[in-house]
């Protein structure tokens, strides 16, 4: 009986970003066809929804936790906590904008191709980073150039 339950659950390795299973490519399937675009729309929308829920949680958490502590150390701790949380939300806000731009690219059939060289970015890379707009080779070259410029 325990084996039946195990078989009905998806394997942990079969679940990717936001609980969606990886796309299973079919032989001789055209790259970035309607099914693939729909798959990535689902991933992007789920990711965006999760980020928006996190924003809502932050707002309610800050309202609930806001207190005027008489002790300056307690006040400073709370302000630092809020500052970190707001910085995180700011990064997520920028990510939401990038997700929105990517969703537009999906709608315009301009998704999945490298902005620099035009080759396929690849299904697996896009599942790992759905907002990727460069292929692995171009991204690697960009990072090398950046390290040369910044010396890092």
Predicted confidence at residue 50, as pLDDT, reads 93
Q: Is the pLDDT of residue 3 over 60?
A: no
Predicted confidence at residue 13, as pLDDT, reads 46
Domain boundaries for CATH 1.20.120.910 within the chain: 26-111
pTM as predicted: 0.78
Nearest to 105 by CA among 81, 130, 141: 130
| Residue 9 pLDDT class (50, 70, 90 cuts) | very low
Helices (H), the chain: 2-8, 34-65, 72-107, 123-128, 136-150
Residue in this structure with the two tokens 């150390």, named with its chain if needed: 73
To which CATH superfamily is domain 26-111 assigned?
DksA, coiled-coil domain (1.20.120.910)
Helix 34-65 vs helix 72-107: angle between axes, to the nearest 10 degrees? 160
Q: Residue 28 and residue 107: Cα distance in Å, rounded?
A: 23
Predicted confidence at residue 152, as pLDDT, reads 67
Predicted confidence at residue 10, as pLDDT, reads 44
Q: How far from chain centre, in Å, is Cα 82?
A: 23
Q: Is the pLDDT of residue 66 over 90?
A: no
Q: Do residues 127 and 22 lie in contact, with contact meaning Cβ atoms separated by under 8 Å? A: yes
Q: Taking the CA atoms of the chain, what radius of gyration do you get in angstroms?
A: 21
Per-residue pLDDT tens for 119-151?
999 999 999 999 999 999 999 999 999 999 988
Give the list of residues 6+ apart from residue 52 with CB closer than 8 angstroms, or none: 96
Per-residue pLDDT tens for 80-127?
988 998 999 999 999 999 999 999 999 999 999 999 999 999 999 999
Would you state the structure tokens that stand for residue 133, as one six-digit string? 């707009």
């Amino acid at each position: 009986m325990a084996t039946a339950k195990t078989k009905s659950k998806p394997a942990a390795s079969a679940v990717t970003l936001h609980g969606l299973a990886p796309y299973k490519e079919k032989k001789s399937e055209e790259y970035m066809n309607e099914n693939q675009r729909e798959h990535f729309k689902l991933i992007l929308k789920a990711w965006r929804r999760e980020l928006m829920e996190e924003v809502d949680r932050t707002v309610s958490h800050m309202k609930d936790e806001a207190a005027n502590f008489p002790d300056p150390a307690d006040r400073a701790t709370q302000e630092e906590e809020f500052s970190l949380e707001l910085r995180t939300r700011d990064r997520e806000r920028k990510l939401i904008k990038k997700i929105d731009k990517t969703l537009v690219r999906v709608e315009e059939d301009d998704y999945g191709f490298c902005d620099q060289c035009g080759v396929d970015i690849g299904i697996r890379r896009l599942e790992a980073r759905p907002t990727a707009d460069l292929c692995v080779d171009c991204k690697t070259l960009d990072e090398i150039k950046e390290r040369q410029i910044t010396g890092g």
